[in-house]
């Protein structure tokens, strides 16, 4: 996380813009009376392509700050480890899609929670852990509670079932999930610490988003407008001394490689060229990239802590 004085200004500006655009998106969706599935998928595809995947495209440069990747051999070693970890997730998914989905949901919740909270604003490690859990679980738990049928359908696309069994489980688990999340939020913001009002307001806005918008659309809005944009602000602050041309070159190379690998995977897996097939490819790609990306963001956070000290 960035910290101190003017360095927080971009994050604060982003928060205000994200809150306003989130409210506008919810109002527009309500006024429209519903969003067709093809529009939801189009928004997901465009959002992930424009800012979702790009928010991790500078991982090699971010890793270089903490790992000192000063030689071609070190760079290749890092890229090799990154690809191996991503391929391991893909291998798990091919063996057991249910386990792959479980890993994706749990790792995403942790990643989102860490990205949406600032450890220095919490009064203790336990208070920060509660905030991480409250924020990280929101994009996973709340859409499942509010929209069990479409969420279970998407989960069915990902694991290769019709999703009816998943829907029944989600409906049965909804009261416990909702109560657990609400209690976590209350505990997280009952404890003293900075940023309580803003954190609670952000969660309230996102809760409304996940309740009012269809799951694919609310995920796109959260993932792109909140999570990815926030991470890019942190990366920009960390890489401020690097030439823009170098950042553009590395980012473009990573994005091209990602697109080629996704296309090859889509073809080799013989996934149907339909909305379910494309959604499956996009989300499995995100699942594969999440664990190595989390390790890089941990390096980024450690560097920010060292800079603070």
105 vs 111: CA distance, rounded Å: 10
Nearest CA to 199 out of 136, 271, 281 is that of: 136
In which residue are the tokens 């386990």 written? Answer: 99
Evaluate the CA torsion angle 91, 81, 254, 46 in order and state its sign.
Answer: positive
Question: What is the chain's pLDDT, residue by residue, as a tens digit (309 residues)?
Answer: 444 444 457 888 899 999 999 999 888 878 877 778 888 888 999 999 999 998 888 888 888 876 676 677 778 888 889 999 999 999 999 999 999 999 999 999 999 999 998 887 877 888 889 999 999 999 999 999 999 999 999 999 898 887 788 888 899 999 999 999 999 999 988 877 777 888 899 999 999 999 999 999 999 999 999 999 999 998 888 887 777 788 888 888 888 888 888 888 777 666 667 778 888 889 999 999 999 999 888 887 776 666 665
Nearest CA to 212 out of 204, 202, 200 is that of: 204
* Encoded tokens for 238: 């960390």
Q: What is the pLDDT of residue 70?
A: 67
Q: How far apart are the first and last CA of the chain?
A: 13
Residues in the chain: 309
In which residue are the tokens 């994706």 written? Answer: 104
184 vs 178: CA distance, rounded Å: 10
**141-162 CB burial, b ≥16 within 10 A, e <16:** bbbbbbbbebbbbbbbbbbeee
Q: At what angle do helices 72-95 and 97-116 cross, to 10 degrees?
A: 130
Strand locations in 68-212, DSSP E? Answer: none
């Amino acid at each position: 996380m960035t910290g101190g004085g003017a360095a927080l200004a971009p994050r604060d500006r982003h928060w205000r813009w994200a809150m306003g655009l989130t409210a506008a998106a919810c109002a527009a969706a309500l006024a429209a009376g519903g969003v067709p599935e093809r529009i939801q998928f189009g928004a997901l595809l465009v959002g992930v392509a424009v800012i979702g995947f790009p928010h991790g495209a500078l991982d090699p440069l971010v890793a270089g700050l903490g790992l000192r990747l000063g030689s071609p051999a070190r760079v290749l070693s890092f890229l090799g480890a990154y690809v191996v970890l991503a391929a391991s997730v893909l291998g798990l998914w091919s063996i057991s899609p249910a386990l792959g989905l479980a890993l994706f949901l749990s790792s995403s919740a942790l990643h989102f929670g860490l990205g949406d909270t600032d450890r220095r604003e919490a009064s203790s490690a336990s208070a920060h852990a509660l905030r991480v859990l409250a924020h990280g679980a929101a994009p996973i738990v709340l859409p499942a509670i509010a929209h069990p049928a479409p969420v279970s359908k998407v989960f069915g696309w990902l694991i290769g079932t019709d999703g009816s069994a998943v829907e029944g489980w989600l409906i049965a688990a909804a009261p416990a999930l909702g109560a657990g999340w609400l209690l976590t939020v209350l505990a997280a913001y009952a404890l003293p610490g900075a940023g309580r009002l803003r954190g609670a307001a952000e969660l309230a806005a996102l809760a409304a988003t996940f309740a009012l918008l269809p799951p694919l659309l609310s995920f796109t809005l959260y993932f792109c407008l909140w999570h990815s944009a926030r991470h890019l602000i942190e990366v920009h602050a960390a890489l401020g001394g690097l030439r823009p041309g170098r950042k553009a070159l590395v980012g473009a190379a990573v994005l091209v490689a990602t697109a080629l690998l996704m296309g090859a995977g889509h073809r080799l897996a013989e996934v149907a060229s339909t909305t379910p097939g494309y959604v499956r490819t996009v989300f499995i790609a995100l699942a594969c990239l999440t664990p190595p990306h989390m390790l890089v963001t941990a390096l980024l956070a450690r560097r920010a802590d060292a800079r603070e000290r």
